[in-house]
Amino acid sequence: MALFTMGDLHLSLSAKKPMDVFGGAWQNYVEKILDQWHQTVGPDDVVVVLGDISWGMSLAECREDFLFIHNLPGKKYIIKGNHDYYWTTVKKMNAYLEEIGASSMSFIFNSAVEYEEDGKKVALCGTRGWFYEDRGEDKIYNRELGRLESSLKCAAPDLTRIAFLHYPPFGLGGGSSQVTDLMERYQVKSCYYGHLHGAALRGVRGETNLRGITYRLASADYLGFRPMKIEI
């Protein structure tokens, strides 16, 4: 059993929205995801997907994308992304997954998941997050901050926490933020995030160590569409 993460699958098996506007890396990206996932992830493994999984505007429009993800090896936990327009309530989404038979998928939202590997347990926590620089949207930023804390609080007190976000947890300069401060208070071990693509990846550090927490970028194109293994 092993733990992996990757964000931003941006599937559009029904919506037919092209992704090659973000560069040549996105050509034939569905085939790349399929190939790299099968090479990396086994049936007993767990993958936390960092949002932006489908361009579908409703649950029904996401059906083919959800089934594609379901049929990939492993158990998949989904974090909300900024382009997950289908997102309603966890109850409705779980009911839809059950309806279409996508039993290998579920969501992390105001919740935490306990994961055990080789006798060691950790808590998987997360939320969408928001741009630190977008101070005109303090209401959204603070709401996401509250959701992250809610998720962190859901973890058993004795468990090490690993955090997953869609948006980067810090500003463009890589310094501290309210999000990183919150994770420090809850003694998060490591944090994984996505959202950045194409030109936005230029000059980006894939790994940042800030006051005892390791932050790693895990957007699909940055990883070459190969899920990143997490050492717990």
What does the buried/exposed string (b/e) look like for 54-90 if buried means 16 or more CB atoms within 10 Å of the residue's CB? bbbeebebbbbbbebbeebbbbbbbbbbebbebbeee
Q: What is the pLDDT of residues 48-106, one digit of tens each?
A: 999 999 999 999 999 999 999 999 999 999 999 999 999 999 999 999 999 999 999 99
Q: Which domains are present in the chain?
A: 3-230 (3.60.21.10)
What's the pTM value of the predicted model, to 2 decimals?
Answer: 0.94
Distance CA 101, CA 104 (A): 9
Q: What is the pLDDT of residues 160-193, one digit of tens each?
A: 999 999 999 987 677 889 999 999 999 999 999 9
69, 11 Cβ separation under 8 angstroms = yes
